[in-house]
Amino acid sequence: MRHFVQIGYFLTSVCANKSAEFRISSMAKPNKKNLYSYRICGLCEVLNREMFTNSQGKVLSNTLVLCNCSNSQLIDAKKIGDATGLRCSKVYSSLCTDQIGEAAALLKTDGALVACLQERQIFEELAEELEVSIPEFVDLRDRAGWSDEGGNAGPKMAALVAESQLPTPITKMLSVTSHGQCLILGPQDLALEAAAQLRDVLNVTVLLETPDDVPFDRSFDIISGNLRRATGALGKFEIRIDAFQTTIVGGRGEVKFTPPRDGATSTCDLILDLRGQTPLFSHKRDGYLRVDPGDPKAIASAVFEVAQLVGEFEKPFYVAYDPHICAHTRSGISGCSNCIDACQSGAITTNGEQVKIDPNICNGCGDCSAVCPSGAVSYDTPTFGFLLQRLNVLAKTFRDASGKAPRLLVHDSAFGGEMITLSARYGQGLPADVIPLEVESLPAFGHAEMLAALGTGFAAVDILLAPKTERATLDSELELALTISDKAALRLLDIADPDDLSAILYAQAPAAPIAPVLPIGNRRQVTRLAAKALRGQLETPISLPKGAPYGAVIVDQDACTLCLSCVSLCPSGALLDNEDKPQLRFQEDACLQCGICTQGCPENAISLIPRLDISDAAFTQTILNEEDPFACISCGAFFGVKSTIDRVMDQLAGKHPMFADSESGKLIQMCDKCRIETQYHSDSSPFQGGARPMTRTTDDYLKRRDS
């Protein structure tokens, strides 16, 4: 399964200064040379090996091992070395076969970086035999050397080498445990056959809708009923069954069932669905395997796969969530729900007040981070900051190696990587100026990432879609990026033929990149910085499509009463007040266009305009509405707003029973202190009692008795 890495052999190191534990898991064969121990101390990360390391703890390669793969590609070792600062070996021709002895000598030097990915297994096994450190690897052949323009691919090779040396951030992992409780759904004959194959390795329960002549077999459980609902993921499925029946143990004759009952609930770790009906989940769910009941090979493969899903697994925390800057709700008023609407797996829900992300269900599609206006939801595998580093290093190294106008090809590892390999082996390959960038999630590459690539100096950005990539988010993000950049060279490539991919890339008209800028900050800040570099000094804001996360707030001054409820509701601080006078201020740079202010305004005086102001005016506070304060008619202290007091007087004075006469109507024009004092001393005040009774003495009582 793509999302899980079964925990293998690991060492644990606990920092003496901070209680933190990190586990390194590996699918490789156990070997003392590939077990690393990390000591984490605050922001300092020290790799416990006697090697050269950089400030972030990654081993720096000393020697780049080059091979032209039987003279099938041209490699300019000097250009690569000058641009990357690495010591390059001579260019070999068959390190994996005839020159394996030279490869062994190179691997004995700690910090080797082998420029060959196809024969990785050979070099790893060689390192194990030599009892030396496993080398790093980078693919230069398929992505650069094997191309009709391979002779000019020196700058691209240098960029790919430099990018491979960036220290990969540590990924936070979620531990998932599967005890092997498996529920099998489907026709009786198929389900029972699958159960018979799995009963020795899993705790199997077969659910039959209409059992008929059920065999007596105590090696697994058989139940009857209709599955109404299933939630959860691997290790934590929850199911609800109506017309639930279990077999009755004992007795002669056919297997009998208990009386049916509705609403039975249970849990399981795995679900094998052989029904061939509508899937239980609309998107991929870890631990749920669904196959066509008419395909014996697919059933056999699913049975084998589900048998492996027992034990402890680790799954990445794909996204991080910061509730403090989330614009979902404020004081019960609904605002932004972009992440919930975009989530493909149903992992994001709301309890009415906050967004909740279930990491067990999350598949890491990245749609939520691309559409989040505030950055409350951010893709974390890897982080946005690391992606900016990769983009900057690729573009800068390409230029340092005498490259002119690099283009970026964003792709995934499975489909996109295979397309590039097939194009290189059997077709034209990639043009010399097209640099491939492999990402974990294509939808997570949103408008900010597209603009950041242009801002770092790429002349064009193409995103190669995989066959099952959800396009809704990417289409809207591309439209936003095109609008902000004034129709720069940004495209989505929905292509399934490697030759067509090469043809489109070779046919693209050359474009000139902008003077590069260093992308720093969050997605909103990088977008503004890149837009300013692309568009120059624009005094007029850029109009954006509806739903864009940038824009302005417009206030109808005639309707606004300056109640300032919008100020207290604004989650980003874009709307502000003034402590010295009745005033509503606005800072456009901070506005998320979440709509909470429009929903919470009692006068319906607020509207939103999606736009991006890249001038410095967006960072200043502008006045949307202001009025003079009203002076108390009794003490002269300022309180409230004149228009508000006048409006209340028009509606209540002389009309409401509490303010029927002129004297009581004046209370509306008084501050809180004067209003209370006037009411208290008024003859009609409910707080006043009657006349104080005279004090009675003994003489008074005696006189009364004698009389």
Looking up tokens 């790893």 gives 124
Reduced to 3 states (helix: H, G, I; strand: E, B; else coil), residue 276 is coil
Let me know if 30 is exposed, middle or buried by CB neighbors in 10 A (0-12, 13-18, 19+). Answer: exposed
As assigned by CATH, the class of the 542-626 domain is alpha beta
Which pLDDT value is given to residue 28? 33
Which pLDDT value is given to residue 660? 64
Helix, strand, coil shares, percent, the chain, to 5: 30, 25, 45
Q: Pick from 643, 663, 683, 653: which is nearest to 559 by CA?
A: 643
Contact (CB, 8 A) for 107 and 92? no
Let me know if 226 is exposed, middle or buried by CB neighbors in 10 A (0-12, 13-18, 19+). Answer: middle
Ranges of residues in the chain with a pLDDT under 50 are 1-59
Domain boundaries, the chain: 5-164, 180-309, 315-379, 384-535, 542-626, 629-681
What is the Rg, in whole angstroms, of the alpha carbon atoms belonging to the chain? 35
From the CB of residue 688, how many other CB atoms can be counted at a distance below 10 Å? 11
Per residue in 347-391, pLDDT (tens digit) is: 999 988 889 999 999 999 999 999 999 999 999 988 999 999 999
Q: Pick from 292, 286, 296: which is nearest to 273 by CA?
A: 292
Which pLDDT value is given to residue 27? 31
Q: Which helix (H) or strand (E) holds 126?
A: helix 120-130
Which pLDDT value is given to residue 61? 62
Contact (CB, 8 A) for 275 and 339? no
Specify the length of the chain in residues. Answer: 707
Q: Pick from 234, 359, 249: which is nearest to 308 by CA?
A: 234
Across 444-555, the runs of DSSP E, i.e. the strands, are 460-464, 490-493, 542-543, 551-555
Reduced to 3 states (helix: H, G, I; strand: E, B; else coil), residue 222 is strand
Per residue in 489-546, pLDDT (tens digit) is: 999 999 999 999 999 999 999 889 999 998 899 999 999 999 999 998 888 999 999 9
Which pLDDT value is given to residue 674? 87
Dist CA 546 CA 642 (whole Å): 36
Strand partners, 313: 6, 176
Per residue in 244-300, pLDDT (tens digit) is: 999 887 777 788 889 999 999 999 999 999 999 999 998 889 999 999 999 999 999
Q: Pick from 374, 364, 370: which is nearest to 335 by CA?
A: 374
Residue type, 502: S
Say if 315-379 and 384-535 have the same CATH topology: no
> Which two structure tokens, joined as six digits, stand for 519?
């992308």
User: DSSP class of residue 561?
Assistant: -
- The number of C-alpha atoms within 13 Å of 162 and in the hemisphere containing its C-beta is 27
Dist CA 445 CA 473 (whole Å): 10
> Which two structure tokens, joined as six digits, stand for 517?
């800028």
Q: With respect to CATH, is domain 384-535 assigned 3.40.50?
A: yes
Which distant-in-sequence residues (6+ apart) come within 8 Å of 698 by Cβ?
A: none
Dist CA 61 CA 163 (whole Å): 12
Pick the CATH number of 315-379 from 3.40.50.150, 3.30.70.20, 3.40.50.300, 2.60.40.10: 3.30.70.20
Q: Pick from 394, 412, 515: which is nearest to 84 by CA?
A: 394
Q: Per residue in 515-525, is it b (16+ CB within 10 Å) or e — as a string? A: ebbebeeebbe
Looking at the domain 180-309, which fold is it? FAD/NAD(P)-binding domain (3.50.50)
Dist CA 158 CA 401 (whole Å): 7
Torsions phi, psi of 602, nearest 5? -70, -20
Dist CA 156 CA 621 (whole Å): 45
> Which two structure tokens, joined as six digits, stand for 554?
């417009």
Q: Which helix (H) or strand (E) holds 455?
A: helix 447-455
From the CB of residue 85, how many other CB atoms can be counted at a distance below 10 Å? 10
Q: Tell me the whole-structure pTM to 2 decimals.
A: 0.82
Dist CA 227 CA 242 (whole Å): 7
Looking up tokens 């864009």 gives 548
Dist CA 228 CA 605 (whole Å): 47
